Structure 1
Amino acid sequence: MRIFDRSGQELIVNQRQNQLLKFLYSHFLGRCALKVLTLPFITHIGGCYMNSRFSKRKIQPFIQQNQIDMSQYEKQEYSCYNDFFTRKIKKEARPICMEHDLLIAPADSKLTYYPIHQDTCLTIKDTVYSLSDLLKNQSLAQEYDGGTCLIFRLTVDDYHRYCYIDDGTKEQDIYIPGIFHTVNPVANDYYPIYKQNSRSYSLLHTQHFGDVIYMEVGAMMVGKIVNHSKTSFQRGEEKGYFEFGGSTIVVLFKKDIVVIDEDIIKNSQNNDETRVLMGEKIGIKR
């Protein structure tokens, strides 16, 4: 799977994480290690470490390895790795498109587009699952037949806070427990991903895009989802953030609601992803 920016340029992908995941999912010893890594008490220990001052030593090497421009962020000093991982970006670094007929990206991420058809399954790198499996709600899934599914995959170098895509009100969050597994696409070649991940979703009653399902998916090693408790929201307002771990956002629209930008559709049809930034235009209201 390749990644392209909005100008059509292919981005260079750091293969180190892919190589580690390939070992974990394709090698016998790797799979044995994976069973240990995904035990609840192991993920708890990992979370405690990432919240401790001892994890600070990992921050600077990570910044250098991923060439992160820290001038875009509000803070320059961090108490632990999770403090750094959930850092806030300056507003001017992520301007929000405020034209309400335009659909915006909720997060910095790698985006894939899928049309939703009746009785069909969504496929991500050989992992196949139905929408009803993902939501654990068949009747709700049927309401989105003929609609649009957008999958925003966040990697560890991405900005891990995400926003609302429109004005509106929100129903209560639905939490689905699961086993933590990484969202890196290499992992999908060997293990069913989304059926095994913890996830949280809510039904958003938006002013311009109808009833939208907005789901956050956790990942291997902690993968904690932190959502702010609000019943009403505005376009561009922060919805929540992920603590340490690559994570994913899934957004579902009903039939005849949105038209996704052509470059995103083309890349998705070629099994490639599109790099998008929080707040930028990715489609238009139909």
Structure 2
Amino acid sequence: MKNSARDRTGKQVVKVVSGEKALGYLYNTRTGRTILKLITRRSVSKVTGKILNSRVSKIGIKKFVKKNNINVNEYEERKYRSYNDFFTRKIKPGRRMICMAKSALICPCDGKLSVYDIKDDSVFHIKDSVYTVSDLIENKNLADEFIGGICLIFRLSVDDYHRYCYFDWCQKSENFFIKGVLHTVNPIVFDKYNVYKKNCREYTILETENFGKAIQIEVGAMLVGKIQNFHRSGCFKRGVEKGMFEFGGSTIVLLLKKDTVEIDSDIVQNSHENVETIVKMGERIGVSLLKSKKHGE
């Protein structure tokens, strides 16, 4: 399967989705679905994580870099202890410029972005499937606060930078972890499973300076799906590293309230055409409507 996306210049980029044949077998055959039930158990995920954290796993790094065309010059030059150590590598200073204009909404991560309205009945659409906000956070009262707002979905693939930051100056709540059945976030399976609903996830309530109350949700993926958020509650600045994903394509979902932000037109148009937009951590993707109101714009 080839997955189409556009960069910010409007150029169409075709990405090859790794493991299409294997995923098709897992989801579309009786034997495959039996195997799927086994490999998505949390115990299997833990064993896989231990293997990827072992020193022996280093032998897979060169092949991983070549297969996914990763530009290693963007990242810290050091010896990596394991496959996972490389996967969660830090980028060199200055390689991701954080837009500090207070009115700007920035990307919390690298990824492929889609934008959706949160409907009056508290549902939104992801790749032709319907999900409720309350399904994601398992809190209907909190979910109802975001009716009429915006849902931004950042899908990270293996070639993306897997660390993420705070998108605004904020007061952060504790982290709320929700157990789930781990499934892949690869686009090939969106029509087979409610992927985000089934996966383990962790969300945080952010009282932001320029966008009001927001929710950020990190979603785990098949086989590892491990989410590491570095902080408990507290105050944090825009651009400060919030956490990272260990091995596995993963996703960040950002929920913003009604009339708080205007998303850049190219991203909105791409989403209307069911095309993802390639974005990088720190770049502007929208503008605060609250900031405009304060200044009488």
Aligned to 2:61: 59
> Hey, what's the Cα distance between the residues in 1 that align with 2:243 and 2:124?
26
Does residue 75 (structure 1) correspond to residue 77 (structure 2)? The answer is: yes
- The equivalent residue for 1:17 is 19
> Normalization by structure 1: what TM-score?
0.97
* Cα deviation, residue 20, structure 1: 2.3
Whole-angstrom distance in 1 between the partners of 2:94 and 2:63: 26
Give 1:262's aligned amino acid: S
- Aligned runs of 1:250-265 on 2, under 5 Å? 250-265=253-268
Question: Which residue in 2 is equivalent to 1:130?
Answer: 132
CA positional deviation for 1:17: 2.3
Q: Is the 8 A contact 2:52 2:82 kept in 1?
A: yes
Match of 1:48 among 50, 69, 87: 50
Unaligned stretches of 5+ residues in structure 2: 290-297
CA contact 1:25–1:191 (8 Å) conserved in 2: no
Partner of 2:243: 240
Question: Which secondary structure does the structure 2 equivalent of 1:172 belong to?
Answer: strand
Q: CA RMSD in A?
A: 1.2
- Distance in 2 between the 1:8 and 1:18 partners? 26
1:113-128 matches, cutoff 5 A: 113-128=115-130
Q: Name the SS for the 2:211 alignment partner.
A: coil
Distance 2:31 2:56 in 1: 29
For the Cα contact (< 8 Å) 1:124–1:185, is it kept in 2?
no
Aligned residues: 286
What is the CA distance between 1:268 and its match in structure 2? 0.6
Q: What CA distance in whole angstroms lies between the structure 1 residues aligned with 2:26 and 2:90?
A: 32
Q: Which amino acid aligns with 1:38?
A: T
2 CA distance for matches of 1:22 and 1:268?
25
Give the % identical residues.
50
Structure 1, unaligned runs of 5 or more? none
**Shift of the alpha carbon at 1:146?**
0.9
Report the alpha carbon displacement of residue 159 of structure 1 after superposing the two structures with TM: 0.4
Partner of 1:211: 213
What is the rounded CA distance, in whole Å, between the counterparts of 1:130 and 1:260 in structure 2?
21
2:166 aligned partner: 164
Moved over 3 A (4+): none
Q: Structure 2 length as normaliser, TM-score? A: 0.93
Residue 45 of structure 1: CA displacement?
Answer: 1.1
- Asked whether the equivalents of residues 70 and 76 of structure 1 are also in contact (C-alpha less than 8 Å), the reply is no
Task: Compare 182-191 and 157-166 and name the one that shifted more.
Answer: 182-191
Given that residues 258 and 283 in structure 1 are in contact (C-alpha distance below 8 angstroms), is that contact kept between their aligned partners in structure 2?
A: yes
User: What whole-Å deviation, never above 9, does each CA across 1:124-147 have from its counterpart, x for those lacking one?
Assistant: 223321111111111111111111
Report the alpha carbon displacement of residue 120 of structure 1 after superposing the two structures with TM. 4.6
